Amino acid sequence: MSTLRYRYQTIEFGNLTIEFGNLDIHLRTLRNRQEYSDDDGVAARLGIHSSNWSLYGVVWASGEMLARLMLEEHEIEGKRILEVGCGIGLASLVLNRRDADITATDYHPNAEAFLEENTRLNNGRKIPFVRTGWGDELTELGKFDLIIGCDLVYEYDQAELLASFVDQHAKPRCMVLILDPGRIHHRRFSNSMIERGYSHQQGTPDDVRTLTQPLRGSDKFQVHRYTRC
């Protein structure tokens, strides 16, 4: 029996577009970042340290920012979309409410169960999920028109692994949108993407005051868009 303690919350997305109006996303998350349960040692065998075990299961400000951008992103019709490192999957849940063709992936073994429960709480269609690491040679994911993620590159080796993973799953014409809070290794990721033939643009979020929690380092926070045509 799981000893995890949960938190139930609703994140309100304001009247950002005439088409969608107000949108509420209901979530079951871990109660806090001190929760831990790996009795079978699955996460440990995957190399997930106990200090990082809970990071997938809470709402981060950068994840909320990505979800708000996905509510405003109008060019989704006919596009196959992948969320990389989805964690609690807030952006995927928003896109699912918009009837987007969204697939989610994360390395953590518990992410899929939380995504399924949160999809149920929002009366949504099942979101395809594949648990995989960026270094895995073969996945069941396929190719995508739009690949999204937030705060992904916080270790040196992750930059090249992520760039290779993204490129593996990008269609010849693809947009990659990554939010980053100024991690020092993200520049290496950007350089690797440019070497692979992507153009790169970056800018600051429009308005972080809509977030339900402070966005730390908001002065360094950047929205990166990589495009290959």
**Contact (Cβ atoms closer than 8 angstroms) between residue 41 and residue 105:** no
| Distance of alpha carbon 174 from alpha carbon 108, whole angstroms | 26
Note whether residue 66 is domain-resident.
yes
* Residue 136: per-residue pLDDT: 85
How many independent structural domains does the chain possess?
A: 1
* Residue 215: per-residue pLDDT: 65
* Residue 209: per-residue pLDDT: 60
Selection from 38, 39, 9 nearest residue 24 by Cα: 9
197: tokens are: 């033939």
| Neighbour count for residue 3 (Cβ, 10 Å) | 8
First vs last Cα of the chain: how many Å apart? 50
| Distance of alpha carbon 114 from alpha carbon 123, whole angstroms | 14
65: tokens are: 């920012």
The pTM of the full predicted model, rounded to 2 decimals, is 0.92
Task: Name the amino acid, one letter, at 5.
Answer: R
Note whether residue 112 is domain-resident.
yes
Note whether residue 141 is domain-resident.
yes
Position of tokens 């790169």? Answer: 200
| Distance of alpha carbon 165 from alpha carbon 170, whole angstroms | 9
Note whether residue 82 is domain-resident.
yes
Selection from 150, 134, 162, 135 nearest residue 86 by Cα: 150
**Contact (Cβ atoms closer than 8 angstroms) between residue 226 and residue 193:** yes
Q: Which residues contact 23 (CB under 8 A, 6 or more apart)?
A: 12, 13, 71, 94, 97
78's torsion region: left (phi>0), alpha (psi -120 to 50) or beta?
left
Note whether residue 93 is domain-resident.
yes
Selection from 195, 139, 189 nearest residue 168 by Cα: 139
Note whether residue 185 is domain-resident.
yes
pLDDT in tens, the chain (229 residues): 458 999 999 999 865 554 555 789 999 999 999 999 998 899 999 999 999 999 999 999 899 999 999 988 778 999 999 999 999 999 999 999 999 999 999 999 999 999 999 999 999 999 999 999 999 877 779 999 999 999 999 899 999 999 999 999 999 999 999 999 888 999 999 999 999 999 999 998 876 666 767 666 556 789 999 999 8
| Distance of alpha carbon 202 from alpha carbon 216, whole angstroms | 18
> What is the maximal distance between C-alpha atoms in the chain?
50
Note whether residue 1 is domain-resident.
no
| Domain range enclosing 91 | 59-228
CA angle (105, 14, 67) in 5-degree steps: 15
CATH code, domain with 189: 3.40.50.150
Note whether residue 16 is domain-resident.
no
CA angle (36, 38, 43) in 5-degree steps: 110
Helices and strands of the chain, counted as H and E runs: 6, 9
